[in-house]
Amino acid sequence: MHDILEAVANGPERLDKFLVRQFPDISRARFQKLIADGAVTVAGRVASDAGGKLKPGQPVRVAMPPPAPADPQPEEIALDIAFEDKHVVVINKPAGLVVHPAAGHEGGTLVNALLAHCGDSLSGIGGVKRPGIVHRLDKDTSGLLVVAKTDAAHQALSAQFAAHGRDGKLAREYLAFVWGVPDRPAGTIETGLGRSTTNRQKQAVSKRADARHAITHWQVEERYGTAASLVRCRLETGRTHQIRVHMAHIGHPLLGDGIYGASHRSAKARLSEGAQQALKALKGQALHAAVLGFEHPASGRALRFDAALPADLSYLQQELRLQSGIRKDT
């Protein structure tokens, strides 16, 4: 059964812009598709042109089809929720959880879990009843992730992530345990990133024309002798595996990273027995999305969330501190 949206034009205006202004929870792209599908009438006639001009007093009617069921199936998977309202949900994702279904991971993902958790509170993204994924974390990276529950929230958050924080709305900080100690306390890595020519599963620093611009700002938080460091990374861009590739590029790959840290496998010999056990217990690379800030897509309020290190990384930090004689409360 279709929901009916009705409004009356009060002046000359593009049809699609008028509809977005009247019903801001639905994206302009969605209205344009509805117009193309013949679901919108103006003064009783089916509208075919999203850019057609309305006249004052013309009634506009939209037959909204119910959101189509999502292809992934809902699954009851426990979630650590940092924040939730009718527009967005912020998740503290554990390492090991895949964000989106894909080949080899059709189930057991964050999307499956959100479909079960959110249920009818999902209003439909692009006409499909699904959560709006605007950014991702690698399977083996833990930390904060925001997901849209409505079409309008998805559009607004997507714009913020597309700006990569240059508009001051978005903040993303990661904690990374890396091999060795950088030769200065802070720095910026700016390169092109593209798919590796020798391994299609990897990204690599590249000067090819199709490489994507990537910027990572880093700062040393703790030094564990000469064996390892804790580095805070702030993203100015968000490319696949960006922090992992960039830290390896400057000679300090992440602990536990079997893809980009293979050259440092022998470095574990520099760790104490306790730190080696903690490294062995890691669920993935030693990377955690610790800070996420964004502008709420409906209220415009600035939101910021902080997530403490998960148990396996906290254990690693504790053992590295013991090895290097750092005395701090954990």
Taking only the tens place, the pLDDT of each residue in 1-39 is 567 888 888 888 899 999 988 887 777 888 888 898 888
Report residue 262: phi and psi, to 5°. Answer: -60, -30
Lowest mean pLDDT among 82-86, 107-111, 124-128, 317-321: 124-128
Region 90-116: what's the mean pLDDT? 86
pLDDT confidence band for 290 (50 / 70 / 90):
very high
Q: What is the pLDDT of residue 330?
A: 45
Report residue 59: phi and psi, to 5°. Answer: -80, 135
The CATH number for 152's domain is 3.30.2350.10
User: What is the average pLDDT score of the chain?
Assistant: 89
Q: Which of 16, 37, 80, 138 is catalytic?
A: 138
Q: What is the pLDDT of residue 141?
A: 95
Clarify whether residues 188 and 253 are in a common domain: yes
Is residue 168 assigned to a domain?
no
* Tens digit of each residue's pLDDT (9 = 90 or more) over 222-236: 999 999 999 999 998
Clarify whether residues 188 and 316 are in a common domain: yes
Asked if the model's pLDDT at residue 302 lies above 90, the reply is yes
* Tens digit of each residue's pLDDT (9 = 90 or more) over 241-284: 999 999 999 999 999 999 999 888 888 899 999 999 999 999 88
Asked if the model's pLDDT at residue 200 lies above 80, the reply is no
Mark out the alpha helices in the chain (DSSP H runs). 15-22, 28-36, 110-118, 151-163, 242-249, 273-280, 311-324
Q: Does residue 67 sit in helix, strand or coil?
A: coil
Is residue 296 assigned to a domain?
no
**Number of helical (H) and strand (E) elements in the chain, helices listed first:** 7, 17
More confident residue, 34 or 88: 88
Q: Would you give the end-to-end CA distance of the chain in angstroms?
A: 55
Q: What is the pLDDT of residue 263?
A: 82
Q: Of 19, 46, 66, which residue constitutes the final position of a domain?
A: 66
Long-range contacts of 313-317 (CB under 8 A, 24+ apart): 313/142, 313/175, 313/177, 313/282, 313/286, 313/288, 315/278, 315/281, 316/177, 316/255, 316/275, 316/278, 316/279, 316/281, 316/282, 316/286, 317/177, 317/222, 317/230
Region 299-321: what's the mean pLDDT? 97
Q: What is the pLDDT of residue 121?
A: 80
Q: Of 49, 66, 83, which residue constitutes the final position of a domain?
A: 66
Asked if the model's pLDDT at residue 76 lies above 80, the reply is yes
Clarify whether residues 147 and 89 are in a common domain: yes
Asked if the model's pLDDT at residue 124 lies above 70, the reply is no
Q: What is the pLDDT of residue 128?
A: 67
Distances (CA, A) of 90 to 114, 151, 263, 315: 11, 16, 36, 25
Q: Which among 69, 80, 84, 101 has a CA at the least distance from the CA of 149?
A: 84
pLDDT confidence band for 70 (50 / 70 / 90):
low
Lowest mean pLDDT among 62-76, 251-265, 301-315: 62-76
pLDDT confidence band for 329 (50 / 70 / 90):
low
Q: Of 163, 184, 206, which residue constitutes the final position of a domain?
A: 163
* Number of C-beta neighbours around residue 276 at 10 A: 15
Residue-number span of the structural domain to which 234 is assigned: 173-290+311-324
Q: What is the pLDDT of residue 28?
A: 84
More confident residue, 24 or 153: 153
Structurally, the chain folds into a number of domains equal to 3
Q: What is the pLDDT of residue 68?
A: 57
Clarify whether residues 55 and 78 are in a common domain: no
Is residue 305 assigned to a domain?
no
Beta strands, E only, 136-227: 142-148, 171-179, 186-195, 203-205, 212-224
Clarify whether residues 261 and 132 are in a common domain: no
Is residue 300 assigned to a domain?
no
Clarify whether residues 190 and 86 are in a common domain: no
Q: What is the pLDDT of residue 104?
A: 62
| Bridge partners, residue 217, by sequence | 188, 234
Clarify whether residues 208 and 320 are in a common domain: yes
Is residue 298 assigned to a domain?
no
Q: Catalytic: 312?
A: no
